[in-house]
Amino acid sequence: MPSPDLASRLLPVLRACAGARLCVAYSGGLDSTVLLHLLARLAPEAGFVLSALHVHHGLSLRADDWVKHCEAECDALGLPLRVERVVVTLDAGRGLEAAAREVRHAAFASVEADWVVLAHHADDQAETLLHRLVRGAGVAGAAGMRERDPARRLWRPLLAEPRAVLLEWAQVEGLRWIEDDSNADSRFMRNYLRHSVLPALKARQPAVERSLARAAAHFAEAEDLLCELAVLDAGVVKLGLPGSRSGLRALSPARGRNLLRYWLRERGGQAPDAARLVSGLRALRSEAPVRECFGDLALCAYRERIWTEPARLMFPAPQPWAGEAEMPWAEGGVRFLPISGAGLRLDPGSQSLLLRSRCGGERLRLAENRPTRSFKVLCQEADLPVWWRETLPLLCCGDQVLWIGGVGAAAGCSALPGEVGWRIEWRGPDGLWRG
């Protein structure tokens, strides 16, 4: 009988979850119904705490009925169910499936659990691999879904099981589940692969799902090796530090692209396509200033340094300084550190001090033996990129510029011995603090 076999295969893994909080992403369909009942049966012996989450997308006229079905099933099992109602919006260049998946995963991220348990199986893995390959995926995409995704707390314990095993188990157990009509709509690529392509392949090779799942595992191993190589290269190139650009030039183009792909992904940037990756690497290996946006992240280079920063830079409003230890500024902040006998002589009680952006025509002399320089020249000498200039913080007293973030303080305004002065530091879009 398949019933005890499927449960016995899961039990050793679940025993390692003793005391953990598991939350099943429960749609009410066959796959998640099997997973929910399996985990509910094994929870007392394995010792984990179980709950369920149903995401109400509102895309079907039957969505409210599905909620009632899920509530009834969870009540019968004595399990708490959270229903998360979401709004799916379509953006340019993104299909309905992708938009629904995004809000669904946002709901998963809000769950208070150690693992959100998903019911993906070997057939889903085969569909995912084919879907990504026909779209020209690289090694990372061809790796398909991972059984465990610790960063997002996602776990797919049934990923090695064919759907036929789940169906047989559900039938033997007499389970009830719902059928989503949209799963039969072949206008969606995944449904076309499921109903037309995979059956044709299965007629020639009955174990095609297992074969494709095995191929995805091979790709996943290759991707892990590429990530390890990227970590090694990042240590050599020292991304974000002076000299990183020359280090990147020393890598082969393939290793350079691998490093940039990994670096962007680790920082939450949008995965670049092959053409943008090639052009981005070419630009970074040159000597020209670079600022290319990948989603919400910008990849930047100026002089010999490479870094990432928010794609959208903020332009803050002027703020009076009245002695605060730290003030927010754009993507970072400005902090004021009291220091005896050094730093700027400032008195927020008697001086009208304002933190603002440049207005035009600002000049500053950094030392008594140095000439007064224009704002532009000062930024060039301080190796500050052009696109930061409009967002740099300036501390001013009336028309007098006392300090420019990343540049320094005005000469002749230093605290005298015995006085308490102020050292001012600014955290820029790259996350580094500068005087």
Residues in the chain: 435
Give the model's pLDDT for residue 1. 41
* Strand ranges across the sheet with 408-409: 319-320, 353-356, 394-397, 400-404, 408-409
For the segment 205-221, the average pLDDT, to the nearest whole number, is: 91
- Tokens 């603002």 belong to 356
Q: Is 398 annotated as a binding residue?
A: no
Residues 6+ apart with CB under 8 A from 269: 294, 295, 296, 297, 299, 308
Q: What is the pLDDT of residues 144-159, one digit of tens each?
A: 999 999 989 999 999 9
For the segment 48-59, the average pLDDT, to the nearest whole number, is: 93
Q: Is 114 annotated as a binding residue?
A: no
Q: Is 60 annotated as a binding residue?
A: no
In terms of Cβ atoms closer than 10 Å to its own Cβ (0-12, 13-18, 19+), residue 333 is: middle
For the segment 311-332, the average pLDDT, to the nearest whole number, is: 92
Q: Is 31 annotated as a binding residue?
A: yes
For the segment 388-411, the average pLDDT, to the nearest whole number, is: 94
How many other CB atoms are found less than 10 A from the CB of residue 385?
Answer: 21
Spatial distance between the Cα atoms of 425 and 299, rounded to a whole number of angstroms: 24
Give the model's pLDDT for residue 2. 44
Q: What is the pLDDT of residues 1-25, one digit of tens each?
A: 445 588 889 999 999 999 999 999 9
Of 60-64, 206-210, 401-405, the range with the highest mean pLDDT is: 401-405
Going by C-alpha positions, the residue among 201, 204, 36 that lies closest to residue 117 is 36
Q: Is 279 annotated as a binding residue?
A: no
Give the model's pLDDT for residue 210. 87
Indicate whether 183 pLDDT > 90: no
**All structural domains of the chain:** 2-205 (3.40.50.620), 238-310 (no CATH), 319-434 (no CATH)
For the segment 331-359, the average pLDDT, to the nearest whole number, is: 90
Q: Is 29 annotated as a binding residue?
A: yes
Mean pLDDT over all residues of the chain? Answer: 90
* Strand ranges across the sheet with 420-427: 326-329, 332-340, 420-427, 433-434
For the segment 95-100, the average pLDDT, to the nearest whole number, is: 78
Give the model's pLDDT for residue 66. 93
